[in-house]
Amino acid sequence: MKVFLLMIACFVPMVALADGEAEYKYREGIMNSAKGHISSMGAILKGQVHMDNLQIHADGMVDVAGIMPDVFPAGSQTAKSEALDAVWDDAAAFKEAMDKFVSASNGMAAAAKTGEMGEIGPAIQALGGSCKGCHDDFRQEH
Ligand code: HEC
């Protein structure tokens, strides 16, 4: 019980601090998860190694895509953030870019399931294109 209370005591200040900075940090983590999965899939396909893991990364990307729409709350554009104002000012276009990514992730997971390179190749191209499509319009690299 004492340990439990101690844990609560540690968490409370963190909750109190949950702000734009914390949201930004979490978003960075999510984006880097996306990067990890797509670069792992690229390495698998290029080197023909660990082919059995392709599905795991593709499914992982579907999970990331399930989270990504929620990691751009208002007020999370910190000084370090590379997100352009358009994320919030042009919410409809941003949602469109996000939807493309979500459906490309689903497409990649379905393609991986077939095990056919003819399906997998175009699916990963579309997935990578959906990252770039959003970054081109909504991210300014520092
Ligand atoms: C709908 C828009 C959108 C999609 C889709 C998207 N990103 Fe991003 N990404 C952003 C924005 C905006 C930022 C800048 C966020 C910030 O700095 O606050 C970013 C930042 C990043 C970063 C930098 C993270 C850091 O450490 O600062 C990486 C890496 C990244 N994205 C990878 C990806 C990959 C890989 C995909 C596709 C699998 C992807 N993103 C899909 C909008 C998107």
Q: 73-96: per-residue pLDDT in tens?
A: 999 999 999 999 999 999 999 999
For 12-42, write each residue's pLDDT tens digit. Answer: 555 544 589 999 999 999 999 999 999 999 9
Spacing, Cα 139 to ligand 1 middle (Å): 7
Name the burial class of residue 110, with classes exposed (0-12), middle (13-18) and buried (19+) by CB atoms within 10 angstroms of its CB: middle
> CA angle, corner 43, sides to 61 and 115, nearest 5?
65
Q: Is 134 in the pocket of ligand 1 (CB under 6 A)?
A: yes
Domain that holds residue 114: 2-138
11/134: higher pLDDT: 134
Q: Which H or E run includes 73?
A: none
Average of per-residue pLDDT values in the chain: 92
Contact indicator for 138, 83 with CB cutoff of 8 Å: yes
Q: Which H or E run includes 46?
A: helix 20-47
Which stretches of 68-116 are DSSP H helices? 86-89, 91-114
Q: Is 100 in the pocket of ligand 1 (CB under 6 A)?
A: no
For 95-115, write each residue's pLDDT tens digit. Answer: 999 999 999 999 999 999 999
- DSSP bridge pairs for 83: 139
Contact indicator for 107, 123 with CB cutoff of 8 Å: yes
Mean local confidence (pLDDT), 61-74:
98
- Whether residue 142 is predicted with pLDDT greater than 70 in this model: the reply is yes
Give pLDDT, residue 8. 55
CA count, 13 A, side-chain hemisphere, 137: 18
Looking at the 3D structure of the chain, how many domains does it have?
Answer: 1
Mean local confidence (pLDDT), 60-84:
97
Q: Is the dihedral of CA 75, 76, 80, 82 positive or negative?
A: negative
Spacing, Cα 46 to ligand 1 middle (Å): 23
Give pLDDT, residue 19. 87
Q: Is 86 in the pocket of ligand 1 (CB under 6 A)?
A: no
Domain with residue 62: its CATH number is 1.20.120.10
